[in-house]
Amino acid sequence: MTPQNTAATPASAPARTTAYRAAPSKESIAAVRALSGSSDQLGGKNGKGPSISRVTIALILGCLLLVFLCALSFAVGSRMFALDRSVDGFLNPDANTIESKLIWAKRAPRTAAALLVGAALAVSGVLMQALSRNPLAEPGLLGVNSGAAASVVVGVGVFGVSSPFVQLWLALLGSGVAATLVFMMGLVDSKPNLDSTARLVLTGVAVNACLGTITGVITMFNSKAFDSHRFWVVGSLENRTFEQVLSALPFVAVGLVLSFMLIGPLRALALGEDAAAGLGVPVTLVRAATIVAIMALCGASTAIAGPIGFVGLVVPHVIRLLAGADIGRVLPLSLVYGPALVLAADILGRVLVVPSELEVGIVTAFIGAPVLMLLVMHLSTGSRGAKKSRMGAKAQAHDEAGPAHSPEHGHSPVF
């Protein structure tokens, strides 16, 4: 009897070992579901698509808010209009009224610029956070906006560029050079003991400081460059035209198309580079395409309104609180909530210091900094609560199991 059991044991051991290796753990399944956003435990007990309804509600509310802000943008300014008269003036561009003339000459181009800039900055923030897997990544932090600003200042101060279309190309060039430097230097494994996200942030800060120094030196000794740069550098939408918006629209469109094409690869990249490569994702190609999309979006938005901060940082975090962390939800919703934030900041800037105005970059900084601090506090509180709940669940399970007894020796094992 004993030889039979001894012979059966080696034969059954490989089968058990294979089964054990093939069966993934519950923790890994939960992690993959959380990253892909496909978990059926996000809402109700039945799992009948609660996440879809949550995303739909967030999208509807965002669209309604955006329509209201557009109407408010037509009505608010140095000369106030009623909402019904502003909407009537917008719907009748050929009418010989003061509302129609003022809206189509000043406020409609400004509103269109705010919509385009907000969408570009929010989507670029989502892409940078997904690519670097760093929640602090945004165009202003990683030097992309500073690269575009420095390039425009060099063009104006050194080469005397005054055409908005040429400035757009200069901003694209500068943002591309800055993004390439940051990602090439920040993601190289020159220091294995330093995390790649930390290297990325540190490299972005260094590039940002260098480009800011270049901009400061040129504006210090060139009064023309200083005059054209001092209002643009803080981020402003004043006196924007439809020509500027239309010149930047193709670049933003290319960046948005690339962004939506990269949703699947970036979702796989969130699992790690090795896991994404194992799933057949070309990691290098995905990185290059994402950098191109970020270059197009940040360069076009910076050329229109100057460097505006906190939009690409705050909007993705707010959307994740509303609809989850999956990039397939965050990216479409950022097209709505990014323009809403920039347009709301522009409207506040018009009414806070009447009859003067505050630039939209200043207002977004005032809005973004407290919101970011609240988000950090909320996330840290949530992580502490989740850790305590896990520890409590483990302690409860240990108490219910009771002490383990050894059948051979009759006493509990010593750990």
In sequence order, what are the residues at sequence separation of 6 or more whose Cβ sits closer than 8 angstroms to the Cβ of residue 402?
Answer: none
pTM as predicted: 0.76
- Contact assessment for residue 234 and residue 98, using Cβ atoms and an 8 Å cutoff: no
Low-confidence ranges of the chain (pLDDT < 50): 1-26, 28-29, 31-32, 36-51, 192, 404-415
20-30 exposure pattern, b = at least 16 Cβ within 10 A, e = fewer = eeeeeeeeeee
**Which residue, among 148, 57, 138, has the nearest Cα to 314 in the 3D structure?**
138
**Which residue, among 371, 349, 343, has the nearest Cα to 66 in the 3D structure?**
343
Instruction: Supply the pLDDT for residue 323.
Output: 85
- Contact assessment for residue 350 and residue 79, using Cβ atoms and an 8 Å cutoff: no
**Which residue, among 209, 230, 210, has the nearest Cα to 157 in the 3D structure?**
230
Alpha helix segments (H runs only) across 353-407: 360-401
DSSP structure class, residue 103: I
| Cα–Cα separations (whole angstroms), residue 173 to 128, 292, 300, 303 | 18, 11, 10, 11
Instruction: Supply the pLDDT for residue 381.
Output: 67
Residue 282 tokens, joined: 């070309």
In sequence order, what are the residues at sequence separation of 6 or more whose Cβ sits closer than 8 angstroms to the Cβ of residue 263?
Answer: 327, 328, 331
Instruction: Supply the pLDDT for residue 383.
Output: 53
Give backbone dihedrals phi and psi of 46, rounded to 5 degrees, phi first.
-80, -20
Q: Where are the beta strands (DSSP E) in 44-137?
A: none
Instruction: Supply the pLDDT for residue 104.
Output: 92
- Contact assessment for residue 169 and residue 281, using Cβ atoms and an 8 Å cutoff: no
Instruction: Supply the pLDDT for residue 2.
Output: 45
Q: Which helix (H) or strand (E) holds 34?
A: helix 26-36
Instruction: Supply the pLDDT for residue 396.
Output: 61
C-alpha–C-alpha distance, residues 61 and 35, integer Å: 25
Measured in whole angstroms, how far is the alpha carbon of residue 347 from the centre of its chain? 23
What is the tens place of the pLDDT at every residue in 69-108?
999 999 998 888 888 888 888 888 888 888 889 999 999 9
Instruction: Supply the pLDDT for residue 249.
Output: 92
Kindly write down the DSSP assignment for every residue of 261-319, as one continuous string. Answer: HTHHHHHHHTT-HHHHHHTT--HHHHHHHHHHHHHHHHHHHHHHH----SHHHHHHHHH
Residue 60 tokens, joined: 């509807």
Instruction: Supply the pLDDT for residue 32.
Output: 45
CB atoms inside a 10 Å sphere around CB 321: 14
137-169 exposure pattern, b = at least 16 Cβ within 10 A, e = fewer = bbbbbbbbbbbbbbbbbbbbbeeebeeeebbbb
C-alpha–C-alpha distance, residues 104 and 94, integer Å: 10
In sequence order, what are the residues at sequence separation of 6 or more whose Cβ sits closer than 8 angstroms to the Cβ of residue 197?
Answer: 132, 133, 134, 137
Instruction: Supply the pLDDT for residue 41.
Output: 39
First-last CA distance in the chain:
36
What is the tens place of the pLDDT at every residue in 360-377?
988 998 887 787 777 667
| Cα–Cα separations (whole angstroms), residue 189 to 136, 195, 199 | 20, 9, 9
C-alpha–C-alpha distance, residues 122 and 360, integer Å: 15
- Contact assessment for residue 139 and residue 298, using Cβ atoms and an 8 Å cutoff: yes
